[in-house]
Amino acid sequence: MVRIMRRFSAALVEAIKEPITLAVLDEVADVLRAGHYTRNVALALAENQEYLRDMVLEKVKEDRTVGRLSRLPFHDSVVQAATDTTLRVLLQIIVDPRTDELIGDILRQNVDQIRADVHAKGVAGAIRSVGSA
- Identify whether 5 is part of a domain: no
- Identify whether 70 is part of a domain: yes
Task: Note the pLDDT tens digit of each residue in 35-80.
Answer: 777 888 888 888 898 898 888 888 877 887 776 677 778 877 888 8
- Identify whether 9 is part of a domain: no
* Residue numbers of the domain that contains 36: 16-132
What pTM does this model have? 0.56
Nearest residue to 99 via CA among 30, 27, 25, 40: 40
- Identify whether 34 is part of a domain: yes
- Identify whether 109 is part of a domain: yes
- Identify whether 100 is part of a domain: yes
- Identify whether 93 is part of a domain: yes
Amino acid 79: pLDDT? 80
Task: Note the pLDDT tens digit of each residue in 91-111.
Answer: 899 888 898 888 888 888 888
Count up the domains in the chain and report the number. 1
Contact between 37 and 60 (Cβ < 8 Å): no
What's phi and psi for 36, nearest 5 deg?
A: -120, 75
